[in-house]
Amino acid sequence: MITILIALLVVGCSSYLGWGIGNYYKKRVKFFRDVKDMLNYLINNINFYKDSVNYNLEKFINQYKPNTTLIEIVNDYKDKKIKSYALLKNDEFHLVNNIFEHLGKSDSENQIMGLKNFSFQVDELINKCDEDYNKIGKISNKLGTLLGITLAVFFI
Amino acid sequence: MLDGYLPSQIINALKHLSINKLNEIRLRVGNPVVIDYGGLYYLSSVGITDVIGKSIICTKDMIEYTVAQACENSIYAYNDDIKQGYLTIPGGARIGLAGTCVREGPTIKTIKNISSLNIRIPHEVKNCSLKILEFVTEPSIHNTLILSPPGAGKTTLLRDLAFQISQRYLQNILIIDERNEIANTINGIPQYKLGIFCDVMTNCTKKFGLENGIRSMRPDVVMTDEIANASDVQAIHYALGCGVKAIATTHCDSLIALKDKKDFEQLIEKKTFERYILLSTKNGAGTIEGVFDKNFKCLCM
């Protein structure tokens, strides 16, 4: 009975680990897609209404309910200190930091141009994250469970 | 009103003063902060002082902070105002800017290297127009031009006139508030009491506001601040041609100076304005020097 319980525990842990890795990649895809949505939202709004950055960001968060890391970064921006987050690699953090540093520093024409440039860079990251998710993220889910089952079989 | 817009050093110093007596704060990089507090004084960490050595010295960071806060860290949202040399913050305080204009051809793109700020604190003086109200409204509302040098209370008087005419005479009033000083709207809602019959168009030129506002809002009276050039005068002519009454203000310290203003020649010749109200700062801002009719005959001193 104990052996079966331990075997189930091993399967559970291994699956959870696999799911965790998969989820990490999934979250990264969602994060950069949300950043892209945010940039598009800002471009449209600045182009038409010219509302302030903070007002736009608040409206974006209320409407789009983005990834929690992005919400935290927006809050950091409002507090004027953006921290690094585990979800982001160094260069990605610099890009995100640059986006926020750039906000509100120029007239609408240049602001929109700058945001569009960032948007292209974010597109590349989305593609890369998508690839990573397909390559590693999805497989790690399955591998986690398989590894768990294998270990359990050996154990029994 | 100024909390969150000025650096903490200045805010802390201002806490020792009464905001009601404060008219103006001047920040110039490398120079003492000067305030108009019923007279010019330096601002020190404990209030006002006559001694330069005790005064707070304005730094570039202080100016940058103030401008960034006034712009809500969104230059693009305020660049049209910056180009015109001012920013308005909630509460109606107007921040005048001086720095280097960035030009592209004949147009100014923005102002950079801002080195001086002039922060003018508005004061809502309720019923300040009662003294002259009958001259403006009896037997019917007259086209009126309020004249005064800067800082003598034109906008305050105009604001109160809007309130009184709206409340007492139930007239639909359209206020063309180019610089958002009269109504101080935040998200479209006036922060000053203007009366229940007032409509406000902000951030638009007088020409645009008067032409479109008259068509769309059907006002009985239009009000606007600081007529300055031929285009503004034309807009007023347009409004009067539509059968609407106009009450406006302009910078001018005497009737003679008004007559010398080239853009105003037509207005004076055609006797467009039936009343002129001259203000000064002789006994403090808002001193009424006189009310004159269209022939410049004095009706009241």
Residue-range domains of chain B with CATH: 8-120 (3.30.450), 130-300 (3.40.50.300)
Rounded-to-integer distance, Cα B181 and Cα B155, Å: 7
Q: Is residue A146 part of a domain?
A: no
pLDDT of res. B94: 87
Residue A1 predicted with pLDDT over 80: no
Tell me if A104 and B72 make a contact (CB, 8 A cut-off). yes
Residues recorded for chain B: 301
Residue recorded with tokens 């006559």:
B50
Tell me if A55 and B72 make a contact (CB, 8 A cut-off). yes
pLDDT of res. B274: 92
Give contacts of A74 with chain B, Cβ < 8 Å: none
Nearest-CA residue of chain A relative to B110?
A: A107
Rounded-to-integer distance, Cα B232 and Cα B263, Å: 9
**Mind listing the pLDDT tens digit for each residue in B112-165?**
999 999 999 888 888 888 889 999 998 889 999 999 998 888 999 999 999 999
pLDDT of res. A33: 95
Span A87-105, average pLDDT: 92
Between residues A113 and A82, which one has the greater pLDDT? A113
The residue among A46, A80, A101, A107 with the most chain B CBs within 10 A of its CB, best to mutate, is: A107
pLDDT of res. B301: 73
The pLDDT tens digits along chain B (301 residues) read: 788 899 999 999 999 998 888 989 999 999 999 999 888 899 999 989 999 999 999 999 999 999 999 999 999 999 988 998 999 888 778 899 999 999 988 888 889 999 999 999 888 888 888 889 999 998 889 999 999 998 888 999 999 999 999 988 889 999 999 888 888 887 788 888 888 999 999 888 899 999 999 999 999 999 999 988 889 999 998 999 899 999 999 999 888 898 888 888 888 888 889 999 999 988 888 888 999 988 888 887 7
- Domain range for residue A104? 25-135
Furthest-apart CA atoms within chain B: distance in Å: 59
Rounded-to-integer distance, Cα B133 and Cα B288, Å: 12
User: Is residue A82 less than 8 Å (CB to CB) from chain B?
Assistant: no
Q: Is residue A6 part of a domain?
A: no
Task: Say if residue B139 is preceded by a cis peptide, omega within 30 of 0.
Answer: yes
Q: What is the pTM of this model?
A: 0.77
Sheet holding B245-251, edge to edge: B198-202, B173-177, B221-224, B245-251, B144-148, B275-280, B287-293, B298-300
User: Is residue A47 less than 8 Å (CB to CB) from chain B?
Assistant: no
Q: Is residue A113 part of a domain?
A: yes
- Asked if B9 and B56 touch (Cβ cutoff 8 Å), the reply is yes
* Domains in chain A, number: 1
CA B184, B186, B192 angle in degrees (round to 5)? Answer: 40
Q: Is residue A111 part of a domain?
A: yes
ipTM over 0.85: no
pLDDT of res. B8: 93
